[in-house]
Amino acid sequence: MTDEKTRFQGKVAIVTGASSGIGRATAAALGAEGAFVAITARRPDRLEEVAAGIEASGGRALALAGDVTDPDFRSRLVEETVARFGGLDHLVNSAGVIAFGTVENTTLSGWRRMFELNVEAIFDLMRLSVPHLLERGGSIVNVSSVNGMRSFPGVLAYNSSKSALDQLTRCSALELAAKGVRVNSVNPGVTRTELHRAGGLDADRYAAFLEHSRTTHPIGRVGTPEEVAGVALFLLSDAAAFLTGVTIPVDGGRHLTCAR
Ligand code: NDP
């Protein structure tokens, strides 16, 4: 039986979106289990905080600040991680944004920005990482959303981007299965992070959204980043050795609901 606290001892992981929310919680959890974690996001001060936490809990951290929509940065991220830690076992794609809009008022540039981060950057990081993951039989976890599995009005580009991501997860899982690399996703419901405020909700509207979310999530509350991170670590670990191409809702049952 693998010791839950040492599942990732000496394993090398890249975690995007590691300055906040689900990415931050996942990076911290990997570090606490002894992983070498390359953490990335645009805010260097935040990354330094996360890196200090990882080092304090027994892991090793490499903080690389940058924008994952920049192709040169993506190449540098993978190359520097492999150069520093000697290989790559895991990739966690958590960097993402939400934006609100309908088919009538979403602009073409807004649609493109959404896909550039939520889909294209992830595809390219997977593409760049796979040769290294193949060497070690590694695994990938993408952070999708219940919005990829269900349709909600008013978040058109976001929902579409997450559905595309789920298809990317499933197709690449099939392509890599026989080669020993697994690809899965977590599909969170509403989780308390910076996502919705960064996407444009002011404090009052966010508070009202969280309150309303108690009724849309059968368990009766929103999730925490740590709850999502726990499932992400399970999917990355050998305990999930026979799982690939799954998109696991971590959503208090929300994916089961229909308007009534
Ligand atoms: P946060 O806003 O708390 O975190 C988003 C992270 O992405 C931050 O670390 C941010 O860092 C990083 N990021 C954003 N844009 C870029 C960019 N261009 N380049 C590099 N990094 C970037 O949100 P969450 O933790 O909630 O979001 C993580 C994932 O979870 C997203 O994919 C989101 O869609 C998904 N999700 C979240 C849900 C929720 O309710 N919170 C529900 C379902 C899915 P920085 O600003 O420093 O660059």
Q: What is the mean pLDDT of residues 90-118?
A: 98
8 Å CB contact between 175 and 245: no
- 19 CA → ligand 1 middle, Å: 9
Mean pLDDT over all residues of the chain? 97
Please say if 158 is a catalytic residue: yes
Contact 13, 90 (CB under 8 A): yes
pLDDT tens-digit series, residues 171-201: 999 999 999 999 999 999 999 999 999 999 9
Residue from 189, 118, 126 nearest 157 by CA: 118
Joined together, the tokens standing for residue 45 give 């001060």
- pTM of the predicted model as reported, rounded to 2 decimal places: 0.98
Report all structural domains of the chain as residue ranges with CATH numbers, in order of start: 4-250 (3.40.50.720)
Residues whose beta carbon lies within 6 Å of some atom of ligand 1: 17-23, 41-43, 46, 67-69, 94-98, 117, 143, 145, 188, 190-191, 193-195, 198
Rounded distance between C-alpha atoms, residue 99 and residue 49, angstroms: 27
CA nearest ligand 1 atom 48, residue:
42
